[in-house]
Structure 1
Amino acid sequence: MTLINRRHFIQHSALTAAAACFPGLLLANQGGKTLPTPGFKADVEIEFTAHAARVSVLANGPATLVQRYSAKLIKGPVQTVVQLPGNYLGPILNFRQGQKVRVFFKNELNESSIIHWHGLHVPQHSDGHPMYSIEPGARFVYEFEVLNRAGTSLYHSHSHNLTAEQVYRGLAGLITVTDSDEQRLDLPAGEFDLPLVIQDRSFDSKNQLQYVHMMHQRMEGFLGDIILVNGKPDAEFRVKSRAYRFRAVNGSNSRIYKLGWDDGTPLTAIGTDACLLAKPETRPYIMLAPGERVDLWLDFSGREVGSRLVMYSLPFSGTQPGMGGKGMRHNRLPQGGKFAVATFSVTEKVGDSPALPESLVPFQRLSQADTDNPGKPLPIGLSMQAMRPLLNGKSFAMDKVADFERVALGSVKNIRIFHDHEMPGGKGARHEANAENHENPMRGMRMKKPMDHDNGGSGGHKMGMGGGMMDMAHPIHLHGQQFQILRRVTDKVRDSYASVREGFIDSGWKDTVLVMPGEEVEIIKPFQDYKGLFLYHCHNLEHEDLGMMRQYLIE
């Protein structure tokens, strides 16, 4: 049985089991929605296709074979779909709060796929749960109302065991949402509102994408040697001497960015994951983990024509053990190294520019008093023991939810995210794993003899490949409604934490949060509007595919 056929078999078997366990939540044909819903009157209709294509990514040499999304607007405002010509990224989707959206998705790949609208608060059947993955030649109909406030989201493939490689090969794109609160602000718009989708890739001598397949590389997560912005290398933006809004998206599989200017000028954020902030926040640098977004206010006022600024990913340490990078092409740019992201060249002097608002949008700040489990947070325990990335000691299974993963519709929960191998109480979660891990991603793989590797700056610990500690930062993404960060507990972090400490913007609505080694993060998450199964997982996409994913059942 080929690897892809085995994946299809596992996925189909898991879906059948899920249908038996959650019959009221699945569609009648077990994962396929092929017809529009009578009575759902769409304001926007889009035809979406996933297919193979050849795109000239690098300046010289052959075109690169990629997987990409193409879209055609059937109904709605003309700017709803903005194509990016000559680009492997999918088109930018521009929505308004309150719109009803219908997407006809057709899979023209040679493997199963499904789309997740990362950051949008939508029903289970439109969220891109891998149980809805469709086979080659099939189609799926998404239907949802845009409930989100103004902000920046993304969309990408979410077919289990295929997510990381499909996203890496191009299946991703940007989403913007606007609303009346945003429209009352004088924010940069039109040509002054631009995407900044940051990704890393590796290419062979024929310009073809190289991906990781060895197990220790997958455990570390893919790290490329070329930085692409908006699908192109050596990105340069020609700007005027005025303010811009740049919607920065970390579209990499596992790379973490520490965004900052080369001249030390601080960065100002006006929004985090899918929502504007209550007021602008300024940092010396901004950390951006896979799946995270930040809306940047970049003001070039006062800069002379001909001046150039380079945005870097600045150096940091302590996010991973540093295994396996030396001498390997896929890891030529180490995690935490310094490298240029994009250059901004001032090409025109102008006299008009909007001023940075002192306040942005109305904002409700949640507290423990708003939760129905104060002092008894739901756990998300992170562990990578014995080469198995787990959450709460368990691997992903479509037909399983633990008792604490069943939550009542309308509830607001306090959730504690912690490192299961470091924090008190972790052993209990891990010891429950074996009974439910019938889909162990490591089964059948040949392992080398365990050996220790240098930790790469995260405090001097050693890591054994066969069962020792895997000390890594994990970007944790929760599907469904967004959450707020209540607090970070840092009394057990290492000295290296100082290199990232000032880069977290925790005051806004979030759907993805970076949890550093030794760190504990408490969040408050509403579970409103929709019943069903909603995932939570590590957004290091290699970890997600290896099973570092679970789900809540909202009932």
Structure 2
Amino acid sequence: MPRLKRVLIVTVTVVAVLATVLGAAATWLYAGADVSTAGTRFSRALVIPPLAEPTVAADGTKVFDLTMQSGRKEFAAGKKSTTWGFNGAHLGPTLRAQRGDKVKVRIKNTLDERSTVHWHGMHLPARMDGGPHQMVAPGATWTPEWTVDQPAASLWYHPHPHGKTAQHVQRGLAGMFLLDDDVSAPLALPKTYGVDDLPVMVQDVTLDGGKLDFDRRLLRNTGFLGERTMVNGTLDPYRRVSDELIRLRLLNASTARIYDFGFSDDRPFSMIATDGGLREEPLRLDRLKLSPGERAEIVVRMEPGERAVLRSFPHEGYGSSWQRRFAGGDDTFDILELRADKTLRPSPELPSALAEPEVPDGSDSVRERYFGLVTSSINGREMKMDRIDLTVTRGTAETWTVRNEHGTPHNFHVHDVQFRILEIDGRQPPPELRGAKDTVYVPPNTTVKLAMRFDGPADPNTPYMYHCHLLYHEDLGMMGQFVVVEKGQKAGTVGAPDSHTGH
């Protein structure tokens, strides 16, 4: 009995010590997991990506050239990082086209590995979509072409290789693709690119000795979360402005981080567009949450000589406090400083009416589908390149119910279409989510209902993707694929991805 008593005492002591150590470690990890760059000294002029100048073919097609290449970029003084970019060392030019334009993009891959270019938010044939089935081999050229047939919007382009999307985007392969149309042209909106109409591609980064470091830290189950942010590849950026109203085309180009945008002085701004284009009317806000891949256009009013800091604030929507802390919800980032000149050009007031979204309202849906999101799978299945998960009929509308079935944040992106959010947990979505969308944030244990129409063209052998746009999750297999077919037609066979070699 004395021996047993000693064993019990030792056991209880060891367990207590282990519990104390583990508790102290958890407390230490939790206490050090949040990040703040509030009070940033903005020291670098914001780089505005150049507008790509297309050539015009005899039939009127606008032809753009993009070269995927490696390079070296100095993010911090005296320290250069190896990066990738389009037509340069890092990121890419802004492409621009009008509704009705025929466009062609000649994409040359000079990297030492295969990649691809996906036109995020674009309505176009599946074989031109740039998903994981349209790979471009090293030394090869791929030339997708299509006719732009959708409203004015702020879209973007980025790689989509299965299993490596996050890595390729982090290295710098991304750019914006702006669309114009006859509805937006006469509206009194800020529209001089780089002057009162600014692209704002926000990415988070970590610098190790001045070089980019994309290691995923302990307990970061949403993916990589950086310690700083940059805009258009510029750290600590400021922009001098000379107009009373400034339009910011916000793009969350990060791979996992969710931002809650606002201004450090809580000034209001007007939201004028969602992922898929202009809202019906401007919406007055002081906060706007965007998950990876989402876009929004906002207009802010400036006073002569003042400075306004675009900030990402701590925010809810992560489930538990533990998940919020380790998924970045407690973090604060000063992102961009606007510096107004002492004299500003007058800007007309924003119009009270903008544009009608061209998305279905669910009343004509012919089918409902369910998508259960769990890290690395959708409806319990990981992505398989040779498996078609869904077949949809061209010209029909459907309602998709998407539920985050566990405690990790996710979002949901559908290729080719713009959708309308009908409900969030059975309730009408907030005003900022009532426009045309192609990506939606789905917090833990939350259900969203989406209405979308599939206008084709039909292609039973070439799929589009749907997936979580927290790219670490996508790369783990949280993705599926669907084909669009004519009525009565069956899905074909999807094989291994093509490696384009010069068509």
Shared fold (TM-score greater than 0.5)?
Answer: yes
1:331-480 matched pairs, under 5 angstroms: 334-350=328-344, 352-364=346-358, 366-373=360-367, 377-384=368-375, 389-402=376-389, 405-421=390-406, 471-480=407-416
1:273 aligns with 2:275: yes
Pick one of 448, 451, 454 that aligns with 1:521.
448
Question: Structure 1 stretches (4+) deviating beyond 4 angstroms?
Answer: 39-42, 213-217, 320-326, 501-504
TM-superposed CA distance for 1:503, in Å, is: 7.4
Deviation track 1:194-236 (CA, whole Å, cap 9, x = no partner) reads 111111011211x22111267964x321100111011101111
TM-superposed CA distance for 1:56, in Å, is: 2.1
Paired residues of 1:283 and 1:503 also in contact (CA < 8 A): no
Deviation track 1:81-129 (CA, whole Å, cap 9, x = no partner) reads xxxxx87220011111111111111111111100000011111111012
Identical positions, percent: 32
SS at match of 2:215: coil
Which residue number in structure 1 is paired with residue 198 of structure 2?
194
Q: Aligned partner of 1:304: which letter?
A: P
1:172 aligns with 2:174: yes
Q: Partners of 2:418 and 2:309 in 1: how far apart?
A: 32
1:262 aligns with 2:264: yes
With normalisation by structure 2, the TM-score equals 0.80
Which residue number in structure 2 is paired with residue 74 of structure 1?
none
In structure 2, the CA distance between the partners of 1:87 and 1:194, relative to structure 1 (3 Å rule), is farther
Deviation track 1:8-36 (CA, whole Å, cap 9, x = no partner) reads xxxxxxxxxxxxxxxxxxxxxxxxxxxxx
Q: Partners of 2:84 and 2:358 in 1: how far apart?
A: 40
Q: Partners of 1:488 and 1:68 in 2: how far apart?
A: 37
Deviation track 1:413-447 (CA, whole Å, cap 9, x = no partner) reads 000010235xxxxxxxxxxxxxxxxxxxxxxxxxx
Structure 2: 5+ residue runs without aligned partners?
A: 1-56, 486-503
Q: Partners of 2:318 and 2:324 in 1: how far apart?
A: 14
Larger Rg: 2
The worse-fitting range, judged by mean Cα deviation, of 272-281 and 334-343 is: 334-343
1:66 aligns with 2:70: no
Q: Aligned partner of 2:382: which letter?
A: S
Paired residues of 2:154 and 2:178 also in contact (CA < 8 A): yes
Q: Partners of 1:272 and 1:255 in 2: how far apart?
A: 19
Q: Partners of 2:294 and 2:278 in 1: how far apart?
A: 14
Paired residues of 2:258 and 2:328 also in contact (CA < 8 A): no
Q: Partners of 1:292 and 1:526 in 2: how far apart?
A: 20
1:484 aligns with 2:501: no
* C-alpha RMSD of matched pairs (Å): 2.4
Per residue, is there more strand in 1 or in 2?
2
TM-superposed CA distance for 1:322, in Å, is: 7.5
Paired residues of 1:285 and 1:502 also in contact (CA < 8 A): no
1:238-257 matched pairs, under 5 angstroms: 238-257=240-259
In structure 2, the CA distance between the partners of 1:184 and 1:479, relative to structure 1 (3 Å rule), is same
TM-superposed CA distance for 1:337, in Å, is: 1.3
Deviation track 1:511-531 (CA, whole Å, cap 9, x = no partner) reads 000011121100101111322
Q: Aligned partner of 1:415: which letter?
A: W
1:536 aligns with 2:466: yes
TM-superposed CA distance for 1:473, in Å, is: 1.8
Q: Partners of 1:362 and 1:398 in 2: how far apart?
A: 37
Q: Partners of 1:104 and 1:304 in 2: how far apart?
A: 44
Q: Partners of 1:323 and 1:128 in 2: how far apart?
A: 37
Structure 1: 5+ residue runs without aligned partners?
A: 1-38, 71-85, 422-470, 492-500
Number of aligned positions between the proteins: 424
Which residue number in structure 2 is paired with residue 508 of structure 1?
435
Q: Partners of 2:63 and 2:335 in 1: how far apart?
A: 35
Paired residues of 1:239 and 1:347 also in contact (CA < 8 A): yes
TM-superposed CA distance for 1:507, in Å, is: 1.3
Q: Aligned partner of 1:61: which letter?
A: G
Which residue number in structure 2 is paired with residue 53 of structure 1?
71
TM-superposed CA distance for 1:324, in Å, is: 10
Which residue number in structure 2 is paired with residue 495 of structure 1?
none
Which residue number in structure 1 is paired with residue 207 of structure 2?
203
With normalisation by structure 1, the TM-score equals 0.72
Q: Partners of 1:554 and 1:263 in 2: how far apart?
A: 48
